Amino acid sequence: MKVHLLQPKDRNVYETVAPFPNDLFEDLQLDSILQIMAKQDRYVYQSCRRILLDPLTDLSVIQYRQKAIEDVLQNKKSILELYVTVAEVVTDLSNYKDRLKKRGNPSAAIRVIDSIEMLDILAVGLEKLKAEITNTYGHFHSENFREFYDTFLQEFDSNFMQMIHQKRQTLQALQVGGEIQISAQLGAGLKSERFLVNSVAEYQSKHKFDKIESLFSTLIKKDEIRINYDDLRLSADCKDLENAGLLHIANYFDSFSREIQRLFESLRSQLAFLYGCANLHTHMSGMTFPVCFPEFDVEQQSPMALDLYDLSLAIKTLRTPVTNRLSDGEVLLYLVTGTNQGGKTSFLRSVGTAQLMAQSGLFVPAGTFRTCIYRGIYTHFIRNEDITMTSGKLEEELSRLSKIIDRVKTGSLILLNESFATTSEREGANIAEEIVRAFYDNGITCFFVTHIYAFVKKAYEEAWERTQFLQAQRLDDGTRTFRILPGEPSSTGYGMELYRQIIGEAGAGTDREA
């Protein structure tokens, strides 16, 4: 049985939307979001990270996943109980397999005993999961959960559970000394071949070598042959055959057990993500942060948002965030300028995080969010100084950007933050115009936060089409509101103002102490 809570069973091929997931993770500061989703559960953290950084391009799959998440948000207690039940079974299996590894290479008889213990864990796990599903049946209403519940209860019905019970009894019969009936053919050199275990039964005889009553029953002659065990060599050969039979049985049950294990592991991974979604939504609602499910317009080429905010910053500060908006319009290029520490980078993160969450099927940090589906999502943020770098910062920036250019395609989204700021104004303006123009001409949506005034001024004066100019708001008294508004490009980031505030205060303090 395969689990399809997050995607329909007929959808298996996706485009790679985020070829540089580590950059997205770092630049959008997703760790704080994932920490809330995980609630200190490392497995939930890793599952949510993997799925969040693997966004979708198929609208039907996104909407299918949205329905599962919407269902979960109405049944947060039930999803927790389901996840805990499955996680406990997988943990028991993992601990047991760790113990097996320490044994080394076990004998055939030990392999059978191992198969019994593994089957016991799986049987108990299936019973627990079946009870949990039965208790929560009818709580969920999405196609995702209804199909999973119905399929599970159909495949793992009372007949199946009785079959598992019988298999356990079969293995236990071998553990206490059962009988294996093996058939084979005589091949070249009178060697046995094509062995087949016909049956396993409880051991009835008390004689030392009567575990195997019949070893050879050829396909040509249906006569049963009795073996005289007085011959020690023949006894050893019979023991080898017995071991072969036991290994065959162990391998059969191992294959059966692995199939059930895959079910639990797949279910745990998908439930972990859904449980993480419930945790995040609970946190956002409890903090009264704006939250909504996005709408998609496949013909739209730019996002529209009301009350959009940087979720990672809101989580860190534990405060209702300052929100921004993105207006309707077929915009390909957003040029953001303005005061230092005015909220430009947070604004950029808010756009990237919302789009990433939207294409992962999640709710988003906004009051309203309508967007298209991008075929690629990229970030290029300035990096902190690295003392191990063997090349200049500009070279490092261009190297990372080159990798993006090699992968980016029409219909992608790229977020540039202070790119090309490590060189002169003139050189930075030339590089920025060349690269941003290439993105623009190839239908790639670009948000560019920059202090390269010469470049932005030229674009503004030439009135580039499908371009929106935004700036960080600063009041006349120098107050930063952290709002990003449409406006003429700013020629200064008021860096000296910050310098005087910080350095001046420190200097004044030094003077006073002197």
pLDDT tens profile 457-491 = 999 999 999 999 999 998 888 888 999 999 998 77
The answer as to whether 262 is a domain residue is no
C-alpha 296/C-alpha 59 separation (Å) is: 8
The answer as to whether 347 is a domain residue is yes
Give residue 111's pLDDT.
67
C-alpha 57/C-alpha 410 separation (Å) is: 13
Question: String of b and e for 110-144 (b: at least 16 CB within 10 Å)?
Answer: ebbbbbbebbbbbbebbeebbebbeebeeebebeb
Give residue 13's pLDDT.
60
The answer as to whether 158 is a domain residue is no
Where is the domain boundary, 187, 217, 241? 241
C-alpha 48/C-alpha 268 separation (Å) is: 12
Residues 233 and 293 in one domain: no
3-class secondary structure for 29-89? CCHHHHHHHHCCCHHHHHHHHHHHCCCCCCHHHHHHHHHHHHHHHCCHHHHHHHHHHHHHH
Give residue 219's pLDDT.
38
**CATH code, domain carrying 370:** 3.40.50.300
3-class secondary structure for 162-182? HHHHHHHHHHHHHHCCCEEEE
Residues 292 and 190 in one domain: no
The answer as to whether 450 is a domain residue is yes
C-alpha 73/C-alpha 141 separation (Å) is: 12
C-alpha 160/C-alpha 175 separation (Å) is: 23
Which of the pair, 446 or 220, is modelled with greater confidence? 446
Residues 326 and 429 in one domain: yes
Closest Cα to residue 11, out of 426, 436, 361? 361
Give residue 466's pLDDT.
94
Give residue 57's pLDDT.
94
C-alpha 408/C-alpha 402 separation (Å) is: 10
Residues 499 and 368 in one domain: yes
Question: In the predicted model, is pLDDT for residue 190 greater than 70?
Answer: no
The pLDDT tens digits for 333-353 are: 999 999 888 899 999 999 999
> Could you tell me the pTM of the whole model?
0.82
Contact 450, 431 (CB under 8 A): no
Contact 61, 296 (CB under 8 A): no
Question: In the predicted model, is pLDDT for residue 422 greater than 70?
Answer: yes
Residues 366 and 445 in one domain: yes
Give residue 185's pLDDT.
72
Give residue 9's pLDDT.
87
Q: What is the DSSP letter of 501?
A: I
Which of the pair, 259 or 326, is modelled with greater confidence? 326
What 3-state DSSP class applies to 286? helix
Residues 232 and 326 in one domain: no
Question: In the predicted model, is pLDDT for residue 64 greater than 50?
Answer: yes
Residues 213 and 296 in one domain: no
Residues 476 and 403 in one domain: yes
Give residue 244's pLDDT.
62
> Which class for 298: exposed (0-12), middle (13-18), buried (19 or more C-beta within 10 A)?
exposed
The answer as to whether 514 is a domain residue is no
The answer as to whether 367 is a domain residue is yes
- Over residues 88-111, the mean pLDDT reads 76
Closest Cα to residue 359, out of 57, 96, 82? 57
Question: In the predicted model, is pLDDT for residue 149 greater than 90?
Answer: yes
The one-letter amino acid at 419: S
Question: In the predicted model, is pLDDT for residue 496 greater than 50?
Answer: no
Residues 220 and 303 in one domain: no
Question: In the predicted model, is pLDDT for residue 418 greater than 70?
Answer: yes
The answer as to whether 206 is a domain residue is yes
CA-only gyration radius of the chain, Å = 33
Question: In the predicted model, is pLDDT for residue 201 greater than 90?
Answer: no
C-alpha 281/C-alpha 364 separation (Å) is: 10
Question: In the predicted model, is pLDDT for residue 80 greater than 80?
Answer: yes
Name the least confident of 229-238, 342-351, 448-457: 229-238
Give residue 96's pLDDT.
80
Where is the domain boundary, 187, 215, 241? 241
**Backbone phi, psi, residue 364, to 5°:** -130, 160
The answer as to whether 312 is a domain residue is yes
What is the rounded average pLDDT for all residues in the chain?
A: 83
Residues 407 and 342 in one domain: yes
Question: In the predicted model, is pLDDT for residue 230 greater than 80?
Answer: no
Give residue 387's pLDDT.
44
- How many CB atoms are closer than 10 A to CB 432? 23
C-alpha 134/C-alpha 128 separation (Å) is: 10
CA dihedral 45, 48, 50, 55 (to 10 degrees): -160
- Over residues 66-71, the mean pLDDT reads 98
C-alpha 338/C-alpha 487 separation (Å) is: 10
- Over residues 272-289, the mean pLDDT reads 97
Most confident of 318-322, 454-458, 493-497: 454-458
- Over residues 228-257, the mean pLDDT reads 62
pLDDT band of residue 421 (cuts 50, 70, 90) is confident
What is the enclosing helix (H) or strand (E) of 243? helix 232-286
Order of strands, edge to edge, in the sheet holding 445-449?
Answer: 376-381, 412-417, 445-449, 333-338, 467-474, 480-486
Exposure on the CB side of residue 433, measured as CA atoms within 13 A: 17
What 3-state DSSP class applies to 507? helix
Residues 197 and 312 in one domain: no
pLDDT band of residue 236 (cuts 50, 70, 90) is low
Contact 278, 79 (CB under 8 A): yes
Question: In the predicted model, is pLDDT for residue 498 greater than 90?
Answer: no
Residues 347 and 427 in one domain: yes
How many domains, the chain?
A: 2
pLDDT band of residue 378 (cuts 50, 70, 90) is very high
State which residues form the domain around 458.
287-381+391-505
**Backbone phi, psi, residue 227, to 5°:** -105, 135
